[in-house]
Amino acid sequence: METSEALDSSLFEELDENGFLLSDFLCEEVAEGAGMEGNAGHESFAEAFYRSGSDWSCLVQEDLSDLKPEIASSSSKKVVQADLFKLWGLKKPVQSKNETKLAPSRKRTVDLESIDDQSGRKLLRSSDEINPNSNQQRTCPFYKKIHGTPFTVDAFRYGLIEGCAAYFLSHFHYDHYGGLSKKWSHGPIYCTHLTARLVKLSLSVNPRFICPMELDTEYIIEGVKVTMLEANHCPGAALIHFRLKDGRCYLHTGDFRACREMQSHPLLMAQMVNVLYLDTTYCNPKYRFPLKEDVVNFVVRITKSSVAKQPKTLIVVGAYSIGKEHVYLAISEALGVQIYVDSSRKRILQSYGWSGLDKRLCSDGKSTPLHVLPISSLHPERLKKYLEAYRHQYLSVLAFRPTGWTFSEKIGSQLDLIKPNSKGNITIYGVPYSEHSSFTELRDFVQFLRPEKIIPTVNVGKAAARDQMHSHFREWLKA
């Protein structure tokens, strides 16, 4: 104790010498503060400053809330570094998911000989390669190539891939279609009809490259039998099943949420899968998501009770460009209200051709209390601003952020334990509505298929994570 006191006071004196505390408007109070047993703590400083005649009161408030987490080194709230993409609501370039993530931080000595280094850059050969947006020199990682076929899956950001005769797109999320644009000319793109419509609509890809496929229908492409299966992910998402000429079967899950129904699919029941390309987004035992239906019911329940308490509630559901439709559709049905979406989202939703959804959409925010916003805008401050525009109609906001990332081990499947994040009249519920498989669903799916080999396609950037996943796989397939 003694030493720390000595330290305190020496620190105080040092500050003194530096002149920070003895600046003109402070010297009197500091003298006083020094009288108070050399307490250089934060309280006395704020107090001193306040008494010097400035209105610092709002900061004292701020300090209490913002400094405490720092001061209390106990296990209370910790601050973590945010990143720019999240703050700006921009999509992170997909390379952060795979190995190239490390590349930018790697100290590079300029090795003029290495024309094609793994970090995804290449020394220029000619001017037509000077294109800031071209990711062409990045090499396609092995887990996007279907071994033994001239196919790749979700590999559009690598430009022309040598030997690739068909580019498959599992579903229309940016981290999968990234690289596709109206300039695409590297080869045919195979995807489901719905995804094909989105690719045309949103990316203006030349239709002559787009080859839509029906679900559950076998196509022969380059001598390989290919079938798309429902992936239980976002609209249009598919599992892709390949049967090679030699009879071997490969299954690429794209992004999916495994479920019982998949296990009764004739194609998966009939023959074993040799290689499984697996969506391992949540391949960690801590992720045990409740069923999507349960989460939807919970959301509806909360909404109904909130609206009963305060009829002037604006309900906001966060969503990515596509996906999570069932959450707001369920609210819309339960309350008998329309769904407000902005015009670009409306175009996308209409392209699904879901009549149940179409007739519920509206483009006038004032005519319905149910609004769909980008998931990145679900912050108390932004929602407060958003509510401003509707302040004559609504007094509070009830928002849902439906994503697996909100899952907490403490809550697990007991949804009623979920505590919203409330600030004033803004209430945000993070609900574990996941369109990816939870750990046990992955396990059940793998144990059902019993593939010879599993290739994880997500979180493969770190060796430790890869090893962890492979040890889970071994465990599952041991019995």
Partner 1 sequence: MLEFRLVQGSLLKKVMEAIKDLVTDANFECSSTGFSLQAMDSSHVALVALLLRSEGFEHYRCDRNLSMGMNLNNMSKMLKCAGNDDIITIKADDGGDIVTFMFESPSQDKISDFEMKLMDISSEQLGIPESEYQSIVRMPAAEFQRICKDLSSIGDTVIISVTKEGVKFSTRGDIGSANIVCRQNTSVDKPEEATVIEMKEPVSLTFALRYMNSFTKATPLSNSVSLSMSSDLPLVVEYKIADMGYLRFYLAPKIEDEEEQS
Tell me whether residue 81 or residue 414 sits nearer to partner 1 (CB atom): 81
CB of 52 to partner 1, least distance (A): 9
Tell me whether residue 51 or residue 86 sits nearer to partner 1 (CB atom): 86
CB of 293 to partner 1, least distance (A): 22
Tell me whether residue 69 or residue 353 sits nearer to partner 1 (CB atom): 69
Tell me whether residue 138 or residue 241 sits nearer to partner 1 (CB atom): 138
Report whether 278 contacts 253 (CB < 8 A): yes
| Residue 255 backbone class (left: φ over 0; alpha: ψ -120 to 50; beta: rest) | beta
Report whether 327 contacts 296 (CB < 8 A): yes
State the chain's maximal CA–CA distance in angstroms. 89
Helical spans, DSSP H, in 310-409: 325-335, 343-351, 355-358, 380-388
Cβ atoms within 10 Å, residue 108? 12
Tell me whether residue 45 or residue 277 sits nearer to partner 1 (CB atom): 45
Distances (CA, A) of 340 to 299, 388, 394, 398, 474: 18, 17, 15, 15, 47
CB of 261 to partner 1, least distance (A): 27
Q: How far apart are CA 398 and CA 174, in angstroms?
A: 28
Tell me whether residue 56 or residue 439 sits nearer to partner 1 (CB atom): 56
CB of 92 to partner 1, least distance (A): 7
User: In this structure, is the dihedral angle defined by the CA atoms of residues 352, 353, 358 and 364, taken in order, positive or negative?
Assistant: positive
CB of 440 to partner 1, least distance (A): 21
Q: Which residue has the tokens 């294109």?
A: 131
CB of 355 to partner 1, least distance (A): 31
**Partners of 372 in beta bridges:** 317
Tell me whether residue 263 or residue 406 sits nearer to partner 1 (CB atom): 406
CB of 36 to partner 1, least distance (A): 16
Tell me whether residue 54 or residue 271 sits nearer to partner 1 (CB atom): 54
Q: Which residues are within 8 A (CB) of 281 and not within 5 positions of it... i.e. 6 or more apart?
A: 255, 404, 436, 437, 458, 459
Phi, psi of 209, deg, nearest 5: -95, -10
CB of 419 to partner 1, least distance (A): 10
| Structure tokens given for 478 | 């041991």
